[in-house]
Amino acid sequence: MFNKVLIANRGEIALRVIRACRELGLKTVAVYSEADRDALHVRFADEDVCIGKAPANESYLDFKRIIAAAEVTNAGAIHPGYGFLAENADFAEVCESCDLTFIGPTPDSIRRMGDKAVAKETMRAAGVPCIPGSEGVVRTFDDAAEVAEQVGYPVILKAVAGGGGKGMRICRDKAELERGFHIASTEAGNAFSNPDLYLEKVIVNPHHVEIQLLCDTHGNRYHFGERDCSIQRRHQKLIEETPSPLMTPDLRQRMGEAAIRGAANVNYRGVGTIEFLVDTDLNFYFMEMNTRIQVEHPITEEAYEVDLIKDQIKVAMGEKIYYEQDKIVPRWAAIECRINAEDVAKDFRPTPGTITAIHTPGGPGVRIDKAVYAGYTIPPYYDSMIAKLIVRARTRADAIVKMRHCLDEFVIEGIPTTIGFHKKVFDHPDFASGNYDTGFLERNFQKPKGDPAEKKSVTLGRNGEPKPGEGDAVTTPTTTETVTEMADKQDQ
Protein backbone atom coordinates (compact mmCIF):
# COMPACT_ATOMS: atom_id res chain seq x y z
CA MET A 1 0.00 0.00 0.00
CA PHE A 2 1.14 3.57 -0.61
CA ASN A 3 1.37 6.60 1.65
CA LYS A 4 2.88 9.08 -0.80
CA VAL A 5 1.41 10.11 -4.15
CA LEU A 6 3.24 11.77 -7.01
CA ILE A 7 0.97 14.01 -9.06
CA ALA A 8 2.02 13.84 -12.72
CA ASN A 9 0.22 17.02 -13.68
CA ARG A 10 0.00 20.77 -13.13
CA GLY A 11 -2.57 23.52 -12.73
CA GLU A 12 -5.87 23.27 -10.94
CA ILE A 13 -6.15 19.49 -11.17
CA ALA A 14 -2.80 19.06 -9.44
CA LEU A 15 -4.09 21.20 -6.54
CA ARG A 16 -7.36 19.29 -6.51
CA VAL A 17 -5.50 15.98 -6.18
CA ILE A 18 -3.12 17.35 -3.52
CA ARG A 19 -6.11 18.44 -1.42
CA ALA A 20 -7.74 15.02 -1.73
CA CYS A 21 -4.48 13.33 -0.71
CA ARG A 22 -4.18 15.59 2.36
CA GLU A 23 -7.65 14.63 3.50
CA LEU A 24 -6.73 10.97 3.11
CA GLY A 25 -3.54 11.41 5.13
CA LEU A 26 -1.29 10.87 2.12
CA LYS A 27 1.95 12.74 1.43
CA THR A 28 2.30 14.45 -1.95
CA VAL A 29 5.03 15.01 -4.51
CA ALA A 30 4.70 17.68 -7.20
CA VAL A 31 6.62 17.46 -10.44
CA TYR A 32 7.12 20.57 -12.51
CA SER A 33 8.77 21.91 -15.62
CA GLU A 34 11.10 24.88 -15.79
CA ALA A 35 8.10 26.98 -16.87
CA ASP A 36 6.24 26.08 -13.66
CA ARG A 37 8.71 27.11 -10.96
CA ASP A 38 6.19 29.64 -9.60
CA ALA A 39 3.18 27.35 -9.95
CA LEU A 40 0.98 26.73 -6.92
CA HIS A 41 1.08 22.95 -7.16
CA VAL A 42 4.79 23.14 -6.44
CA ARG A 43 4.21 25.25 -3.32
CA PHE A 44 1.30 23.12 -2.10
CA ALA A 45 2.93 19.71 -2.30
CA ASP A 46 5.02 18.23 0.50
CA GLU A 47 7.89 17.67 -1.91
CA ASP A 48 8.66 18.76 -5.44
CA VAL A 49 10.94 17.69 -8.25
CA CYS A 50 11.82 19.66 -11.36
CA ILE A 51 11.56 17.16 -14.21
CA GLY A 52 12.70 19.14 -17.21
CA LYS A 53 12.10 21.84 -19.73
CA ALA A 54 8.93 23.73 -20.49
CA PRO A 55 7.70 21.73 -23.51
CA ALA A 56 5.49 18.93 -22.20
CA ASN A 57 7.41 16.33 -24.22
CA GLU A 58 10.45 17.13 -22.11
CA SER A 59 8.63 17.14 -18.77
CA TYR A 60 4.99 16.20 -18.11
CA LEU A 61 4.93 13.65 -20.93
CA ASP A 62 8.33 12.08 -20.26
CA PHE A 63 7.81 8.65 -18.61
CA LYS A 64 11.42 8.27 -17.50
CA ARG A 65 11.64 11.60 -15.72
CA ILE A 66 8.37 11.06 -13.89
CA ILE A 67 9.22 7.51 -12.83
CA ALA A 68 12.64 8.73 -11.67
CA ALA A 69 10.99 11.50 -9.62
CA ALA A 70 8.73 8.90 -7.98
CA GLU A 71 11.72 6.71 -7.18
CA VAL A 72 13.90 9.43 -5.65
CA THR A 73 11.03 10.65 -3.46
CA ASN A 74 9.89 7.14 -2.58
CA ALA A 75 6.33 7.78 -3.79
CA GLY A 76 4.20 4.65 -4.01
CA ALA A 77 1.58 5.86 -6.45
CA ILE A 78 1.13 8.22 -9.39
CA HIS A 79 -1.99 10.26 -10.03
CA PRO A 80 -2.06 11.37 -13.68
CA GLY A 81 -4.90 13.94 -13.48
CA TYR A 82 -6.40 14.60 -16.94
CA GLY A 83 -4.58 15.16 -20.22
CA PHE A 84 -0.84 14.44 -20.40
CA LEU A 85 -0.35 10.75 -19.48
CA ALA A 86 -3.80 10.10 -18.02
CA GLU A 87 -4.91 7.82 -20.86
CA ASN A 88 -1.55 6.43 -21.88
CA ALA A 89 -1.73 2.64 -21.47
CA ASP A 90 2.02 2.27 -21.91
CA PHE A 91 2.66 4.67 -19.05
CA ALA A 92 0.23 2.82 -16.78
CA GLU A 93 2.08 -0.38 -17.67
CA VAL A 94 5.48 1.14 -16.92
CA CYS A 95 4.19 2.32 -13.52
CA GLU A 96 3.06 -1.21 -12.70
CA SER A 97 6.36 -2.72 -13.77
CA CYS A 98 8.14 -0.24 -11.47
CA ASP A 99 5.91 -1.22 -8.54
CA LEU A 100 4.17 2.12 -8.62
CA THR A 101 0.37 2.18 -8.31
CA PHE A 102 -1.12 3.96 -11.30
CA ILE A 103 -4.22 5.70 -9.91
CA GLY A 104 -6.50 4.74 -12.76
CA PRO A 105 -7.82 1.73 -14.63
CA THR A 106 -5.73 -1.17 -15.90
CA PRO A 107 -3.52 -0.67 -18.96
CA ASP A 108 -5.81 -3.13 -20.76
CA SER A 109 -8.93 -1.01 -20.10
CA ILE A 110 -7.13 2.16 -21.21
CA ARG A 111 -5.89 0.49 -24.39
CA ARG A 112 -9.25 -0.98 -25.36
CA MET A 113 -11.10 2.28 -24.85
CA GLY A 114 -8.35 4.19 -26.68
CA ASP A 115 -9.13 2.33 -29.90
CA LYS A 116 -12.53 3.81 -30.73
CA ALA A 117 -13.63 0.89 -32.92
CA VAL A 118 -12.61 -1.69 -30.30
CA ALA A 119 -14.33 0.39 -27.62
CA LYS A 120 -17.52 0.48 -29.62
CA GLU A 121 -17.54 -3.27 -30.32
CA THR A 122 -16.83 -3.94 -26.65
CA MET A 123 -19.80 -1.80 -25.64
CA ARG A 124 -22.05 -3.34 -28.26
CA ALA A 125 -21.16 -6.80 -26.96
CA ALA A 126 -22.12 -5.63 -23.47
CA GLY A 127 -25.55 -4.57 -24.69
CA VAL A 128 -24.87 -0.83 -24.68
CA PRO A 129 -26.77 0.93 -27.49
CA CYS A 130 -24.37 2.07 -30.21
CA ILE A 131 -24.80 4.29 -33.26
CA PRO A 132 -25.71 2.19 -36.33
CA GLY A 133 -22.63 1.69 -38.47
CA SER A 134 -19.74 -0.60 -39.28
CA GLU A 135 -18.77 -3.48 -37.06
CA GLY A 136 -15.26 -2.40 -36.27
CA VAL A 137 -13.00 -1.03 -38.97
CA VAL A 138 -14.09 -0.42 -42.58
CA ARG A 139 -11.15 -1.75 -44.58
CA THR A 140 -12.06 -0.52 -48.06
CA PHE A 141 -14.28 2.02 -49.76
CA ASP A 142 -16.50 -0.82 -50.99
CA ASP A 143 -17.01 -2.02 -47.41
CA ALA A 144 -17.78 1.54 -46.34
CA ALA A 145 -20.27 2.03 -49.17
CA GLU A 146 -22.07 -1.19 -48.29
CA VAL A 147 -22.46 -0.19 -44.63
CA ALA A 148 -23.52 3.34 -45.65
CA GLU A 149 -26.21 1.86 -47.89
CA GLN A 150 -27.54 -0.16 -44.97
CA VAL A 151 -27.63 2.64 -42.37
CA GLY A 152 -28.48 5.47 -44.76
CA TYR A 153 -26.71 8.74 -45.57
CA PRO A 154 -25.39 11.04 -44.24
CA VAL A 155 -22.65 8.97 -42.63
CA ILE A 156 -19.58 9.94 -40.70
CA LEU A 157 -16.10 8.43 -40.96
CA LYS A 158 -14.09 8.46 -37.76
CA ALA A 159 -10.47 7.53 -37.10
CA VAL A 160 -10.17 4.61 -34.69
CA ALA A 161 -7.16 6.36 -33.18
CA GLY A 162 -8.95 9.73 -33.09
CA GLY A 163 -11.53 10.76 -30.56
CA GLY A 164 -12.69 14.07 -29.26
CA GLY A 165 -13.69 15.15 -32.75
CA LYS A 166 -10.35 14.76 -34.45
CA GLY A 167 -10.19 13.16 -37.86
CA MET A 168 -13.91 13.00 -38.55
CA ARG A 169 -15.49 13.36 -42.00
CA ILE A 170 -19.12 13.64 -43.05
CA CYS A 171 -20.29 12.07 -46.30
CA ARG A 172 -23.74 12.76 -47.71
CA ASP A 173 -23.68 10.33 -50.62
CA LYS A 174 -21.66 7.58 -52.26
CA ALA A 175 -19.50 9.95 -54.31
CA GLU A 176 -18.54 11.89 -51.23
CA LEU A 177 -17.86 8.70 -49.37
CA GLU A 178 -15.45 7.56 -52.07
CA ARG A 179 -13.39 10.72 -51.88
CA GLY A 180 -13.88 11.08 -48.14
CA PHE A 181 -12.70 7.57 -47.43
CA HIS A 182 -9.32 8.04 -49.05
CA ILE A 183 -8.78 11.53 -47.68
CA ALA A 184 -9.83 10.57 -44.15
CA SER A 185 -7.67 7.48 -44.04
CA THR A 186 -4.65 9.37 -45.39
CA GLU A 187 -5.23 12.10 -42.80
CA ALA A 188 -5.66 9.58 -40.00
CA GLY A 189 -2.47 7.81 -41.06
CA ASN A 190 -0.55 11.07 -41.02
CA ALA A 191 -2.06 12.36 -37.79
CA PHE A 192 -2.22 9.21 -35.69
CA SER A 193 0.09 6.78 -37.51
CA ASN A 194 -3.01 4.63 -37.94
CA PRO A 195 -5.18 5.00 -41.06
CA ASP A 196 -8.04 2.82 -39.78
CA LEU A 197 -11.56 4.23 -39.95
CA TYR A 198 -15.00 3.22 -38.78
CA LEU A 199 -18.29 4.45 -40.10
CA GLU A 200 -21.52 5.61 -38.46
CA LYS A 201 -24.84 7.09 -39.40
CA VAL A 202 -24.92 10.81 -38.52
CA ILE A 203 -27.04 11.71 -35.50
CA VAL A 204 -28.49 15.15 -36.21
CA ASN A 205 -28.55 17.88 -33.52
CA PRO A 206 -27.50 15.60 -30.68
CA HIS A 207 -26.85 16.37 -27.04
CA HIS A 208 -23.53 15.27 -25.60
CA VAL A 209 -24.50 13.56 -22.35
CA GLU A 210 -21.94 11.63 -20.34
CA ILE A 211 -22.40 9.29 -17.38
CA GLN A 212 -19.99 9.37 -14.43
CA LEU A 213 -18.91 5.94 -13.21
CA LEU A 214 -17.08 4.74 -10.12
CA CYS A 215 -16.01 1.10 -9.79
CA ASP A 216 -13.99 -0.49 -7.01
CA THR A 217 -11.92 -3.68 -7.26
CA HIS A 218 -14.51 -5.70 -5.30
CA GLY A 219 -17.25 -5.69 -7.90
CA ASN A 220 -19.08 -2.56 -6.71
CA ARG A 221 -20.07 -0.26 -9.56
CA TYR A 222 -22.00 3.00 -9.31
CA HIS A 223 -23.10 5.77 -11.62
CA PHE A 224 -23.47 9.39 -10.58
CA GLY A 225 -25.90 10.52 -13.23
CA GLU A 226 -25.07 12.65 -16.21
CA ARG A 227 -23.32 15.79 -17.30
CA ASP A 228 -24.63 17.67 -20.31
CA CYS A 229 -21.60 18.92 -22.21
CA SER A 230 -23.35 20.10 -25.37
CA ILE A 231 -22.04 23.67 -25.08
CA GLN A 232 -18.81 23.13 -26.98
CA ARG A 233 -16.78 25.14 -29.42
CA ARG A 234 -14.63 23.17 -31.85
CA HIS A 235 -14.85 20.16 -29.55
CA GLN A 236 -13.70 22.17 -26.56
CA LYS A 237 -16.26 22.12 -23.77
CA LEU A 238 -17.06 25.56 -22.40
CA ILE A 239 -20.03 24.93 -20.11
CA GLU A 240 -21.19 21.72 -18.45
CA GLU A 241 -24.25 21.13 -16.30
CA THR A 242 -26.02 18.49 -14.31
CA PRO A 243 -28.83 17.52 -14.36
CA SER A 244 -29.12 17.77 -18.13
CA PRO A 245 -32.14 19.85 -19.17
CA LEU A 246 -33.34 16.89 -21.25
CA MET A 247 -33.00 14.28 -18.52
CA THR A 248 -35.77 12.34 -16.80
CA PRO A 249 -35.30 9.95 -13.88
CA ASP A 250 -36.21 7.06 -16.18
CA LEU A 251 -33.72 8.04 -18.90
CA ARG A 252 -31.02 8.61 -16.26
CA GLN A 253 -31.60 5.15 -14.87
CA ARG A 254 -31.47 3.52 -18.30
CA MET A 255 -28.33 5.40 -19.33
CA GLY A 256 -26.71 4.74 -15.97
CA GLU A 257 -27.48 1.04 -16.15
CA ALA A 258 -26.15 0.84 -19.70
CA ALA A 259 -22.94 2.58 -18.64
CA ILE A 260 -22.51 0.18 -15.73
CA ARG A 261 -23.06 -2.81 -18.05
CA GLY A 262 -20.28 -1.47 -20.27
CA ALA A 263 -17.93 -0.95 -17.34
CA ALA A 264 -18.68 -4.37 -15.85
CA ASN A 265 -17.94 -6.04 -19.18
CA VAL A 266 -14.33 -4.76 -19.16
CA ASN A 267 -14.01 -5.20 -15.37
CA TYR A 268 -13.39 -1.46 -15.18
CA ARG A 269 -11.88 0.04 -12.03
CA GLY A 270 -11.69 3.62 -10.77
CA VAL A 271 -13.52 6.65 -12.10
CA GLY A 272 -14.52 6.84 -15.74
CA THR A 273 -17.02 8.43 -18.03
CA ILE A 274 -19.12 7.02 -20.81
CA GLU A 275 -20.05 9.62 -23.41
CA PHE A 276 -23.34 9.27 -25.22
CA LEU A 277 -25.04 11.14 -28.00
CA VAL A 278 -28.72 11.68 -27.26
CA ASP A 279 -30.91 12.37 -30.27
CA THR A 280 -34.01 14.56 -30.47
CA ASP A 281 -36.22 11.53 -29.65
CA LEU A 282 -34.13 10.87 -26.51
CA ASN A 283 -32.53 7.73 -27.93
CA PHE A 284 -29.01 7.40 -26.55
CA TYR A 285 -25.95 5.90 -28.21
CA PHE A 286 -22.47 5.10 -26.91
CA MET A 287 -19.82 7.39 -28.36
CA GLU A 288 -16.57 7.04 -26.38
CA MET A 289 -15.32 6.12 -22.94
CA ASN A 290 -12.91 8.37 -21.03
CA THR A 291 -10.73 6.35 -18.68
CA ARG A 292 -9.71 9.30 -16.50
CA ILE A 293 -11.08 11.90 -14.11
CA GLN A 294 -12.46 14.70 -16.25
CA VAL A 295 -12.16 18.48 -16.14
CA GLU A 296 -15.88 18.78 -15.45
CA HIS A 297 -16.05 16.29 -12.55
CA PRO A 298 -16.81 19.07 -9.99
CA ILE A 299 -20.40 19.57 -11.15
CA THR A 300 -21.10 15.93 -10.29
CA GLU A 301 -19.37 16.38 -6.94
CA GLU A 302 -21.48 19.44 -6.19
CA ALA A 303 -24.81 18.02 -7.36
CA TYR A 304 -24.35 14.61 -5.73
CA GLU A 305 -22.33 15.75 -2.67
CA VAL A 306 -19.48 13.33 -3.24
CA ASP A 307 -15.68 13.53 -3.61
CA LEU A 308 -14.77 11.64 -6.77
CA ILE A 309 -11.02 12.14 -6.42
CA LYS A 310 -10.95 10.78 -2.89
CA ASP A 311 -13.03 7.81 -4.04
CA GLN A 312 -10.71 7.31 -7.01
CA ILE A 313 -7.69 7.18 -4.72
CA LYS A 314 -9.50 4.87 -2.29
CA VAL A 315 -10.18 2.46 -5.16
CA ALA A 316 -6.47 2.50 -6.00
CA MET A 317 -5.75 1.68 -2.34
CA GLY A 318 -7.96 -1.38 -2.73
CA GLU A 319 -10.75 -0.08 -0.52
CA LYS A 320 -14.36 -1.09 -0.88
CA ILE A 321 -16.62 1.78 -1.87
CA TYR A 322 -20.05 1.78 -0.27
CA TYR A 323 -22.94 3.65 -1.78
CA GLU A 324 -26.52 2.65 -2.40
CA GLN A 325 -27.24 3.31 -6.06
CA ASP A 326 -30.86 4.24 -5.29
CA LYS A 327 -29.66 6.96 -2.96
CA ILE A 328 -27.24 8.48 -5.47
CA VAL A 329 -29.57 11.22 -6.65
CA PRO A 330 -28.85 14.82 -7.69
CA ARG A 331 -29.49 17.10 -4.72
CA TRP A 332 -28.50 20.29 -6.53
CA ALA A 333 -28.37 21.74 -10.00
CA ALA A 334 -24.71 22.44 -10.79
CA ILE A 335 -23.10 24.32 -13.67
CA GLU A 336 -19.46 24.88 -14.59
CA CYS A 337 -17.93 27.58 -16.76
CA ARG A 338 -14.40 26.97 -17.97
CA ILE A 339 -12.56 30.29 -17.79
CA ASN A 340 -9.82 30.35 -20.41
CA ALA A 341 -7.02 32.83 -21.03
CA GLU A 342 -8.18 33.46 -24.59
CA ASP A 343 -9.09 36.42 -26.76
CA VAL A 344 -12.63 35.73 -27.92
CA ALA A 345 -12.43 38.51 -30.54
CA LYS A 346 -9.36 36.86 -32.07
CA ASP A 347 -10.95 33.47 -32.62
CA PHE A 348 -10.31 32.40 -29.03
CA ARG A 349 -6.58 32.64 -29.47
CA PRO A 350 -4.69 31.75 -26.26
CA THR A 351 -3.40 34.80 -24.39
CA PRO A 352 -0.64 33.82 -22.01
CA GLY A 353 0.66 36.67 -19.85
CA THR A 354 0.66 38.03 -16.33
CA ILE A 355 -2.47 38.26 -14.20
CA THR A 356 -2.08 41.64 -12.55
CA ALA A 357 -5.18 41.40 -10.35
CA ILE A 358 -7.85 38.83 -9.64
CA HIS A 359 -11.08 38.90 -7.67
CA THR A 360 -13.07 35.71 -7.39
CA PRO A 361 -16.79 35.50 -6.65
CA GLY A 362 -17.97 33.77 -3.49
CA GLY A 363 -20.92 32.99 -1.30
CA PRO A 364 -22.99 29.86 -0.79
CA GLY A 365 -22.88 27.34 -3.60
CA VAL A 366 -19.85 28.87 -5.32
CA ARG A 367 -16.72 26.82 -5.98
CA ILE A 368 -13.68 27.91 -7.94
CA ASP A 369 -11.03 25.40 -8.93
CA LYS A 370 -7.97 27.28 -10.11
CA ALA A 371 -4.20 27.51 -9.68
CA VAL A 372 -3.58 31.11 -10.70
CA TYR A 373 -3.04 34.12 -8.46
CA ALA A 374 -2.35 37.86 -8.70
CA GLY A 375 1.12 38.30 -10.15
CA TYR A 376 1.15 34.83 -11.75
CA THR A 377 2.40 34.58 -15.31
CA ILE A 378 0.55 32.04 -17.45
CA PRO A 379 3.15 30.16 -19.48
CA PRO A 380 2.44 29.66 -23.19
CA TYR A 381 3.27 25.94 -23.24
CA TYR A 382 0.14 24.33 -21.82
CA ASP A 383 -3.59 24.70 -22.12
CA SER A 384 -5.38 27.99 -21.67
CA MET A 385 -7.89 26.97 -18.98
CA ILE A 386 -7.07 29.05 -15.91
CA ALA A 387 -10.11 28.52 -13.69
CA LYS A 388 -13.34 26.59 -13.37
CA LEU A 389 -16.28 28.48 -11.89
CA ILE A 390 -18.81 26.02 -10.48
CA VAL A 391 -22.10 27.00 -8.87
CA ARG A 392 -24.89 24.98 -7.38
CA ALA A 393 -28.45 25.84 -6.42
CA ARG A 394 -31.65 23.94 -5.78
CA THR A 395 -32.99 24.58 -9.27
CA ARG A 396 -31.44 25.08 -12.67
CA ALA A 397 -33.02 28.52 -12.91
CA ASP A 398 -31.45 29.57 -9.61
CA ALA A 399 -28.08 28.15 -10.66
CA ILE A 400 -28.20 30.22 -13.85
CA VAL A 401 -28.98 33.39 -11.89
CA LYS A 402 -26.16 32.64 -9.47
CA MET A 403 -23.69 31.92 -12.27
CA ARG A 404 -24.62 35.13 -14.07
CA HIS A 405 -23.89 37.20 -10.96
CA CYS A 406 -20.68 35.28 -10.28
CA LEU A 407 -19.48 36.06 -13.80
CA ASP A 408 -20.12 39.76 -13.12
CA GLU A 409 -18.18 39.56 -9.90
CA PHE A 410 -15.25 37.65 -11.39
CA VAL A 411 -12.46 40.10 -12.26
CA ILE A 412 -9.22 39.06 -13.95
CA GLU A 413 -6.91 41.86 -15.04
CA GLY A 414 -3.83 41.75 -17.23
CA ILE A 415 -5.00 39.22 -19.83
CA PRO A 416 -8.19 38.70 -21.87
CA THR A 417 -10.40 35.84 -20.71
CA THR A 418 -13.59 34.11 -21.79
CA ILE A 419 -15.62 35.50 -18.86
CA GLY A 420 -17.42 38.02 -21.07
CA PHE A 421 -18.32 35.30 -23.58
CA HIS A 422 -19.87 33.20 -20.83
CA LYS A 423 -22.07 36.15 -19.83
CA LYS A 424 -23.49 36.28 -23.36
CA VAL A 425 -24.25 32.57 -23.33
CA PHE A 426 -26.03 32.87 -20.00
CA ASP A 427 -28.07 35.78 -21.38
CA HIS A 428 -29.26 33.70 -24.35
CA PRO A 429 -32.93 32.64 -24.07
CA ASP A 430 -32.21 29.19 -25.55
CA PHE A 431 -29.64 28.51 -22.87
CA ALA A 432 -32.00 29.73 -20.17
CA SER A 433 -34.78 27.47 -21.47
CA GLY A 434 -32.45 24.49 -21.81
CA ASN A 435 -33.25 24.37 -25.51
CA TYR A 436 -29.75 23.72 -26.85
CA ASP A 437 -27.69 20.98 -28.47
CA THR A 438 -24.13 20.52 -29.72
CA GLY A 439 -24.76 23.06 -32.48
CA PHE A 440 -25.84 25.87 -30.10
CA LEU A 441 -22.61 27.86 -30.03
CA GLU A 442 -21.96 27.65 -33.74
CA ARG A 443 -25.54 28.66 -34.54
CA ASN A 444 -25.64 31.58 -32.16
CA PHE A 445 -22.12 32.81 -31.58
CA GLN A 446 -20.08 32.02 -34.66
CA LYS A 447 -19.38 34.81 -37.08
CA PRO A 448 -21.02 34.11 -40.46
CA LYS A 449 -18.49 32.19 -42.50
CA GLY A 450 -17.35 34.17 -45.50
CA ASP A 451 -14.03 32.71 -46.48
CA PRO A 452 -14.65 30.14 -49.22
CA ALA A 453 -11.25 28.60 -48.57
CA GLU A 454 -12.41 27.85 -45.07
CA LYS A 455 -15.48 26.08 -46.41
CA LYS A 456 -13.46 23.51 -48.25
CA SER A 457 -12.50 21.57 -45.17
CA VAL A 458 -14.95 19.04 -43.89
CA THR A 459 -12.64 17.65 -41.28
CA LEU A 460 -13.92 18.27 -37.78
CA GLY A 461 -11.23 19.40 -35.43
CA ARG A 462 -7.54 19.42 -35.97
CA ASN A 463 -5.38 16.59 -37.11
CA GLY A 464 -1.89 15.97 -35.98
CA GLU A 465 -2.27 16.09 -32.24
CA PRO A 466 -0.42 13.46 -30.27
CA LYS A 467 -3.46 12.58 -28.16
CA PRO A 468 -6.94 13.90 -27.65
CA GLY A 469 -6.70 15.51 -24.36
CA GLU A 470 -7.91 17.84 -21.78
CA GLY A 471 -5.03 19.64 -20.19
CA ASP A 472 -2.83 18.96 -23.14
CA ALA A 473 -0.68 21.35 -25.07
CA VAL A 474 -2.47 24.21 -26.81
CA THR A 475 -4.61 23.07 -29.72
CA THR A 476 -5.67 24.99 -32.76
CA PRO A 477 -8.74 23.44 -34.34
CA THR A 478 -9.29 24.11 -38.01
CA THR A 479 -12.99 24.38 -38.69
CA THR A 480 -16.09 25.81 -37.09
CA GLU A 481 -18.57 23.44 -38.64
CA THR A 482 -21.12 21.36 -36.84
CA VAL A 483 -22.03 17.99 -38.21
CA THR A 484 -25.43 19.50 -38.96
CA GLU A 485 -23.91 22.25 -41.04
CA MET A 486 -21.48 19.86 -42.61
CA ALA A 487 -24.31 17.62 -43.70
CA ASP A 488 -25.84 20.58 -45.48
CA LYS A 489 -22.95 21.12 -47.80
CA GLN A 490 -20.86 18.82 -49.80
CA ASP A 491 -19.35 21.01 -52.45
CA GLN A 492 -15.65 20.97 -51.98
The residue within the footprint of ligand MV4, chosen from 35, 287, 309, 366 (CB under 6 A), is 287
Contacts with ligand MV4, 109-138, as mask; x by CB under 6 A: ----------------------x-------
Note whether 312 binds ligand MV4 by CB under 6 A.
Answer: no
The residue within the footprint of ligand MV4, chosen from 101, 312, 438, 459 (CB under 6 A), is 438
Note whether 259 binds ligand MV4 by CB under 6 A.
Answer: no
Catalytic hit among 16, 233, 292, 338 = 292
Of the two residues 232 and 475, which places its CB atom closer to ligand MV4 in the complex? Answer: 232
Q: How far is the CB of 480 from ligand MV4 (least distance, A)?
A: 10
Is the Cβ–Cβ distance between 380 and 309 less than 8 Å?
Answer: no
Q: How far is the CB of 188 from ligand MV4 (least distance, A)?
A: 14
Of the two residues 29 and 209, which places its CB atom closer to ligand MV4 in the complex? Answer: 209
Is the Cβ–Cβ distance between 212 and 271 less than 8 Å?
Answer: yes
Of the two residues 17 and 287, which places its CB atom closer to ligand MV4 in the complex? Answer: 287
CB neighbours (10 Å) of residue 146? 13
- How many whole angstroms separate alpha carbon 103 and alpha carbon 409? 37
Of the two residues 15 and 460, which places its CB atom closer to ligand MV4 in the complex? Answer: 460
The residue within the footprint of ligand MV4, chosen from 36, 226, 228, 288 (CB under 6 A), is 288
Say whether 292 is catalytic: yes
Of the two residues 236 and 417, which places its CB atom closer to ligand MV4 in the complex? Answer: 236
Rg (Cα) of the chain, in Å, rounded?
22
The end-to-end CA distance of the chain, in Å, is 58
Torsions phi, psi for 399 (to 5 deg): -65, -35
State the number of binding residues for ligand MV4 (CB under 6 A).
19
Note whether 262 binds ligand MV4 by CB under 6 A.
Answer: no
Of the two residues 165 and 330, which places its CB atom closer to ligand MV4 in the complex? Answer: 165
Note whether 238 binds ligand MV4 by CB under 6 A.
Answer: no
Contacts with ligand MV4, 189-228, as mask; x by CB under 6 A: -----------xxxx--x-x--------------------
Bridge partners, residue 101, by sequence: 77
- How many whole angstroms separate alpha carbon 199 and alpha carbon 148? 8
Q: How far is the CB of 384 from ligand MV4 (least distance, A)?
A: 19
User: Comparing C-alpha atoms, which of 424, 282, 401 is closest to residue 333?
Assistant: 401
- Give the residue numbers annotated as catalytic, written as ranges: 292
Which positions touch ligand MV4 (CB under 6 A)?
131, 156, 163-165, 200-203, 206, 208, 232, 235, 277, 287-288, 438, 482-483
